[in-house]
Amino acid sequence: MHPAFSVVFFTTATGAGYGLLALLGVLAGQGFIPPDFWLGLTGMGLALGLISTGLLSSAGHLGRPERAWRAFSQWRSSWLSREGVASVATFVPAGLFGIGWVVLGRTSGWAAVAGLLAAIGAVATVCTTGMIYASLKPIAQWHSRFTLPAYLVFSAMTGSVLLNALLQGFAAGSNMLLAAALLLTALGWGLKLATWRYNDRLEIPTNANTATGLSGGTVRSLEWPHTEENYLLKEMGFRIARKHSAKLRQITQVLAFALPALLLVAAFALPWPYAAALSILAAIAQLAGMLVERWLFFAEAKHTVTLYYGR
């Protein structure tokens, strides 16, 4: 599948943003994070900023973005529509929670309820994003039991690493949160390795024989219907060289998992402000690594239409 930057950025940014929003909503609402003005402004600004730029980026890849409002109508059948509804609905409690925290200086009472609702909305939205990909049968690498958990775990992982960086930056960090960020990074790493292992051994029943209805023997593409690449090949026929894929997987492992984990471990041992600097570096490295991970998620996914082109 063609890795369009708008969609790569959208899923990575909103994943991190919703993860951060959910953690802020729950932890600040339950009194684990002080209702500090600057902390609230930066944290909620970062979470809602990531979500909003991500959503705008996804709207940017539409052919007719001025009609995007129509996408809220088909939530009965379409995961994309459900994602639209969930993402917009989440802005309501998230906005109230942000107003409570930043404007009124309170994160308890009704603000805590709004925070909890925002967290539920955030998790629901990430689920819908994961299901958009997991529900697509023609793309076997996505239509697997790994896709939805990956979206949820990566959202929690990037969200927790961001929250740790934020709190460390405000000298309000805790070993508990550092440990949580570290554990989630390890969990994300394990899940990604398991997904790659699964995808590399994937054998699907669909092949050139079933695609053409010609049973038995081998079916070889002699001639395409067209001389140049058409929409289908540009959009769904993207191919990545095996050596590039291997290198990018290594880059993903270093940037998204290994380096952040090392930096977080070091942050345990060092005092503020060194721990804060390392935590912020860990968050930046991980987000960069997740962009590479998401690029590969698209680039390594093979659509069944490529079978018609002998690919």
Does the protein bind another protein through residue 271 (CB under 8 A)? no
**Cβ contacts of residue 162 below 8 Å, gap of 6+?**
16, 19, 20, 46, 283, 287
Q: Phi/psi at 259 (nearest 5 deg)?
A: -65, -50
Instruction: State the burial class of residue 14 (Cβ atoms within 10 Å of its Cβ: 0-12, 13-18, 19+).
Output: buried
**Cβ contacts of residue 143 below 8 Å, gap of 6+?**
134, 135, 136, 137
Read off the DSSP letter of residue 303: B
In whole angstroms, give the CA distance from residue 212 to residue 207.
Answer: 9
Stretch that binds another protein, among 45-53, 92-100, 132-140, 289-297 (CB under 8 A): 132-140
**Cβ contacts of residue 67 below 8 Å, gap of 6+?**
none
Does the protein bind another protein through residue 84 (CB under 8 A)? yes
Does the protein bind another protein through residue 77 (CB under 8 A)? yes
Does the protein bind another protein through residue 292 (CB under 8 A)? no
Does the protein bind another protein through residue 210 (CB under 8 A)? yes
Cβ 151 to another protein shortest distance, Å: 16
Q: Phi/psi at 67 (nearest 5 deg)?
A: -100, 10
Residue among 120 and 136 whose Cβ is closer to another protein? 136
Residue among 81 and 160 whose Cβ is closer to another protein? 81
SS3 100: helix
Cβ 219 to another protein shortest distance, Å: 5
Does the protein bind another protein through residue 62 (CB under 8 A)? yes
Cα distances (angstroms) measured from residue 295 to each of 2, 142, 188, 266: 9, 13, 16, 29
Angle in degrees, CA 18, 20, 22, rounded to 5? 65
Which string of x and - marks every residue 12-51 that binds another protein (by CB under 8 A)? ----------------------------------------
Name the residue with tokens 């209702």: 35
**Quick one: which of 53, 135, 199, 245 contacts another protein (CB under 8 A)?**
135
**Quick one: which of 67, 201, 242, 243 contacts another protein (CB under 8 A)?**
67
Residue among 14 and 81 whose Cβ is closer to another protein? 81
Cβ 118 to another protein shortest distance, Å: 23
Which string of x and - marks every residue 218-237 that binds another protein (by CB under 8 A)? xxxxxxxxxxxxxxx--xx-
Angle in degrees, CA 188, 286, 134, rounded to 5? 45
Residue among 150 and 282 whose Cβ is closer to another protein? 150
SS3 199: helix
Stretch that binds another protein, among 20-28, 88-96, 210-218, 278-286 (CB under 8 A): 210-218
In whole angstroms, give the CA distance from residue 160 to residue 180.
Answer: 7
Residue among 147 and 185 whose Cβ is closer to another protein? 147
**Quick one: which of 52, 74, 108, 144 contacts another protein (CB under 8 A)?**
74
Binding site for another protein (CB under 8 A): 1, 61-65, 67-68, 70-74, 76-81, 84, 132, 135-139, 205-206, 208, 210-232, 235-236, 303-305, 308-309
